[in-house]
């Protein structure tokens, strides 16, 4: 992994081991996927929540949702339909800057 890719992974994960593992397993060498996650504003625990609680650990689906620009819609639907998932999401939003498109804070 080159240095710029390592820096992006570390910036996205902030030391969260589940996040680092997830990014490595969905294809850390796929810079386009990592940039897409960054541009959607998902970091650290959000990436882990997406993997474990939203997608049940299905990394192939995670990659496909990213590749097909469908991840954000699936997350929004789940936030509306599943109070437990929404509660966990809000908990992490309270600890991290708001997620916004384009990586803005």
The residue whose two tokens read 């997406």 is: 50
- CA–CA distance, 55 with 64 (Å, rounded to integer): 11
Rg of the chain in Å (alpha carbons): 13
Q: State mean pLDDT over 89-93.
A: 90
Indicate whether this model's pTM tops 0.95. no
Average per-residue pLDDT in the chain? 87
Task: Give residue-wise pLDDT tens across range 25-70.
Answer: 887 668 889 999 999 999 999 999 999 999 999 999 999 999 999 9
Locate the domains of the chain by residue range: 3-97
More confident residue, 22 or 1: 22
Quick check: 99 pLDDT over 80? no
The residue whose two tokens read 């999401």 is: 89
Cβ-contact 46, 89 below 8 angstroms: yes
Cβ-contact 45, 16 below 8 angstroms: yes
């Amino acid at each position: 992994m080159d240095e710029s890719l390592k820096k992006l992974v570390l910036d996205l994960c902030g030391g969260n081991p589940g996040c680092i593992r997830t990014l490595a397993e969905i294809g850390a060498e796929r810079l386009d996927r990592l940039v897409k996650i960054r541009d959607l504003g998902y970091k650290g625990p959000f990436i882990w929540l997406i993997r474990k609680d939203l997608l049940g650990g299905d990394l192939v689906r995670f990659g496909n949702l990213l590749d097909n620009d469908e991840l954000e819609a699936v997350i929004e639907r789940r936030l509306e339909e599943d109070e437990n998932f929404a509660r966990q999401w809000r908990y992490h939003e309270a600890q991290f800057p708001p997620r916004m498109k384009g990586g803005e804070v």
